[in-house]
């Protein structure tokens, strides 16, 4: 009996070492616990960093080329779409192919955060139930995995810039803060959609349908410059994904920086992060029961 009690105490200490508030059932909806979850998740970056890398290795296990298939598939799709839509829209292939490839590169990161984010907690049901860890650990793991995909595919952009030289300047350095902003937004989208989808299982298929529509509404395989004279251009501006794509594509291609996109992205980042924090504060303790 004494041994059983000791085992229970040791288990409680293990849980408390991960989340000091886990053994205190009072006031589960507190800002302190929400920010504690975020901080603890970040401090365990050695764990989610390793898990994110293993996710990629497992996907290409026993493959001869391994993760190189990521860049190969990306390069084939970008080349095919660039040539096809360039011919349809009578675009200069030297300009349009890097434009399409860079847009697809950014879109894949955004799309991965949205789609996989909606199922991040559902997919990690076993870990959430049996591993005493903050739920933000799974969010960091997903964003890190998508970052590795992005960096791997960045080789395609580099090759195209070499083959089709672009007017790059010091503004290319803005790509770094632009991607950091994308990562922050990917995190809050994952938190918000992941919690909602865990509670309402109809959310993932709805999100999948919406992202397909967003792809065609976003200037990725078509040029926004050609639409400016069209009355529909005003409605394209209402698409938030367009602004996220442009803040990163413009510096990568040496285009003129349109600060309007940064203002829109900044506003979305602040509002979205605030909503996700409220959702994390109120429902983080229920995720383990909903999965």
User: DSSP code of 219?
Assistant: T
Report the run of H or E that residue 73 belongs to, with start and end: helix 68-88
The structure's pTM equals 0.85
What is the rounded distance in angstroms from the CA atom of residue 20 to the CA atom of residue 61?
38
Here the tokens at position 244 are 């996220």
100 near 75, Cβ under 8 Å?
no
Tell me how far CA of residue 16 lies from CA of 21, 239, 256, 289, in angstroms: 7, 44, 52, 19
The 3-state secondary structure of 127-138, one letter per residue: HHHHCCCCCHHH
245 near 106, Cβ under 8 Å?
yes
What is the rounded distance in angstroms from the CA atom of residue 79 to the CA atom of residue 74?
9
* pLDDT per residue as tens, the chain (291 positions): 344 433 333 433 344 444 444 444 556 677 888 899 999 999 998 989 998 888 887 776 766 566 677 777 788 888 888 888 888 888 888 889 999 999 999 999 999 999 999 999 998 888 888 878 899 999 999 999 999 989 888 988 999 889 888 888 898 999 999 999 999 999 999 999 999 999 998 899 999 999 999 998 899 988 887 777 777 777 888 899 999 999 999 999 999 899 999 999 999 999 999 999 999 999 988 888 888
């Amino acid at each position: 009996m004494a041994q059983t009690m000791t085992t229970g105490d040791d288990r409680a200490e293990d849980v408390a070492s991960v989340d000091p508030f886990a053994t205190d059932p009072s006031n589960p909806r507190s800002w302190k616990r929400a920010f504690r979850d975020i901080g603890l998740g970040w401090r365990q970056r050695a764990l989610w960093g390793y898990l994110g890398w293993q996710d990629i290795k497992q996907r290409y296990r026993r493959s001869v080329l391994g993760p190189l298939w990521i860049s190969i598939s990306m390069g084939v799709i970008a080349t095919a779409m660039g040539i096809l839509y360039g011919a349809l829209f009578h675009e200069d292939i030297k300009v349009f192919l890097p434009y399409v490839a860079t847009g697809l590169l950014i879109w894949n990161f955004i799309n991965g955060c949205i789609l996989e984010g909606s199922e991040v907690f559902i997919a990690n049901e076993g870990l959430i139930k049996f591993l005493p860890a903050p739920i933000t650990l799974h969010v960091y793991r997903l964003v890190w995995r998508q970052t590795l995909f992005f960096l791997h595919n960045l080789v395609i952009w580099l090759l195209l810039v070499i083959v089709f030289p672009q007017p790059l300047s010091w503004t290319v350095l803005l790509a770094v803060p632009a991607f950091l902003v994308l990562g922050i937004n990917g995190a809050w989208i994952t938190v918000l959609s992941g919690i909602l989808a865990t509670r309402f299982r109809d959310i993932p298929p709805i999100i999948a349908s919406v992202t397909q529509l967003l792809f065609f509404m976003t200037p990725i395989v078509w040029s926004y410059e050609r639409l400016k004279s069209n009355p529909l251009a005003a409605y394209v501006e209402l698409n938030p994904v367009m602004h996220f794509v442009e803040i990163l594509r413009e510096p990568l291609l040496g285009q003129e920086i349109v600060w309007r996109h940064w203002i829109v992205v900044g506003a979305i980042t602040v509002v979205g992060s605030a909503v996700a924090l409220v959702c994390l504060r109120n429902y983080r303790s229920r995720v383990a029961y909903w999965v």
